[in-house]
Amino acid sequence: MTEEAIPHADVLNSTAQGQLKSIIDRVERLEVEKAEITEQMKEVYAEAKGNGFDVKILKKVVRIRKQDRAKRQEEDAIFDLYLSAIGEI
């Protein structure tokens, strides 16, 4: 790699350097928070499983509740149509 191809910190002014560092720091903090939340969700699902609930179905319920009702009904209708078309209903 030539001398010109090596990036130098002085290419960014001090304001841009500060913004870049701030953005990276925030992303890194969010990654830690995301990992913590993921672990908490695993614990909640483990608790649910311990109480006799089907975790796979719980996850499906959570996913469905996020959807818009009309969109979900439309998808359900298409799903039923496809199943009917292949003789599964």
* pLDDT tens-place string over residues 50-78: 999 999 999 999 999 999 999 999 999 99
> What's the pLDDT score for residue 1?
54
50, 59 in Cβ contact below 8 A?
no
Note the pLDDT of residue 2: 59
Place of tokens 């969109």: 71
pTM of the predicted protein model: 0.66
- For the beta carbon of residue 20, count every other beta carbon within 10 angstroms: 11
> Residue 16 has which token pair?
């841009």
How many C-beta neighbours within 10 Å does residue 45 have?
A: 16
